Amino acid sequence: MTQPHSFRVILNCDCGEGMADDAMILSHVTAANIACGGHAGDADSMRAALRLCKQFGVSAGAHPSYPDRAHFGRRILPMTPDEITAAVCEQLQALSAIASEEGVTLTHVKPHGALYNQAATRREIADVIARAVVAHDPNLALIGLAGSALIEAGEAAGLYVLREAFADRAYERDGSLRDRDLPDALIQDNVRCLAQAEDIILRGLVMAHDGALIPLRADTICIHSDTPGAAERAAFLRRGLLQAGVELVGVR
């Protein structure tokens, strides 16, 4: 039996990255981070993702990255702050132009891959991203890893920030994400994903890879669309969280 809502969270996913089941995933989440030409995506895929967001009532946001399609944005590029600013702004502008044509108001920005991870630990990169978002549209929310430098930079820049946690990624004891190149970095068992999401939302805790319980509070939970079974996982998480009394909301 569904319990009264006492907790609320944004369930987000990365999309527009060339996966076949975006429509199925977006029918279950409340926010989408749309690839906008850096690691993946083009005008056609951005338009398709925006139309799906409009169809399902999903908050639409930008998912900028290092301009590195060859490595899906998961390699650190030796770019200067000005070059990072230019790359992020170009991607935001590309998605915003199509969103305007489609009558969709963008709500947020979430960096992707190596850029996201760098911004989590390096304040100078986090500041560059926050400034780029402010320059483009200071009303956009900025999503960053909970407890990271990107959250601090966004707050310092006057942005509305959303602390993010992951249902399908393992954590280290320091609260960082386990490196994708290490064993068991990805969680693909749906029951484990739901249990991790519930621990974070309802208890403010997550179990690290070594078994330690660490505090972790988040405003939004992410699942990745580029992992096997992502659509089924999204449906499982939505159903399980609602049954646990969690209210699923979009980005304000």
CATH number at residue 19: 3.20.20.370
Phi-psi region of 237 (alpha: psi -120 to 50; beta: other; left: phi over 0): alpha
C-beta separation of 133 from 168 below 8 A: no
Look up tokens 């850029």; give the residue: 115
Write out the two tokens for 144.
């960053």
CA dihedral 174, 175, 178, 179 (to 10 degrees): -80
pLDDT of 130 reads 98
Domain count, the chain: 1
Q: Domain of 18? A: 7-248
Query: Rounded to two decimals, what is the model's pTM?
Result: 0.94
On whether residue 196 sits in a domain, the answer given is yes
Distance in angstroms (rounded) separating the CA atoms of residues 2 and 211: 30
Q: What is the mean pLDDT of each run of 10 residues along the chain (252 residues)?
A: 67 91 95 97 97 97 97 95 97 98 98 96 97 97 97 98 96 92 91 97 95 96 89 96 97 92
On whether residue 188 sits in a domain, the answer given is yes
On whether residue 2 sits in a domain, the answer given is no
Q: Which residues pair with 153 in a beta bridge?
A: none
User: Which residues, 6 or more positions from 243, have their beta carbon under 8 angstroms from its beta carbon?
Assistant: 2, 3
On whether residue 230 sits in a domain, the answer given is yes
Which three-class secondary structure state does DSSP give residue 47? helix
On whether residue 1 sits in a domain, the answer given is no
